[in-house]
Amino acid sequence: MLRNTLTTYLIVGLGNPDKQYLDTFHNVGYMCVDTIANKLGVKFIKGECRAITATYKTASYRLILAKPITYMNLSGESVRELVHKYKIEQSKCIIIYDDVDIPLGAVRIRSKGSAGTHNGMRNIVAIINTEDIYRIRIGIGQPHTEQLYDYVLSHIVDKDRQTLSQVFDRASDACIDFVNGATLDNVMQKYN
């Protein structure tokens, strides 16, 4: 008897787990996967592989949404464990994270590249041992006066929250299109 195996996708939003970080620029990855979960009607209730996860299933695929709780700089440890546990192909994994080198409100979807200045993505690239990782970079803009560290950990003000809410909506639609069969090239053309 042949078993029907579902294609498994993994979408990881990067952030820091403590309450003090929940509404900060460095947690926009978490916020974006929360938007995806809300659209799909699933909740983050399972703790596994040093992450909090939510699972969505259809007849043809399973989607694991994950928020690593390893803290940003060790995100790769959780990603490696999730990829191993669910035997996820590299081409079925997307990492979502904040990027200060992109203007606030912009979305950049890429199939590969360096981690830039982002320590969480640097750790993932080092542990997975490749730069060929699909990613969605959410622009948070440059700090005006504060140091980079202070800026990414600062709380999001209302006007920026409205802008980011629209970004999360677009980025989540891009992810949903991807897991529903759109190629990454098509997703990039539509949402970049």
Catalytic residues: 26
Q: Around Cβ 166, how many Cβ atoms within 10 Å?
A: 11
Burial (CB count within 10 angstroms: exposed 0-12, middle 13-18, buried 19+), residue 97: buried
Q: Which of 86, 81, 80 is nearest to 64 (CA)?
A: 86
Burial (CB count within 10 angstroms: exposed 0-12, middle 13-18, buried 19+), residue 177: middle
Is 127 strand, coil or helix?
helix
Q: In what order do the strands lie in the sheet with 134-139?
A: 46-48, 51-57, 61-68, 7-13, 93-99, 134-139, 107-110
Cα separation, 60 vs 41, whole angstroms:
18
Q: Which two tokens stand for residue 134?
A: 């699909």
Give me the numbers of helices (H) and strands (E) for the chain, helices first please: 6, 7
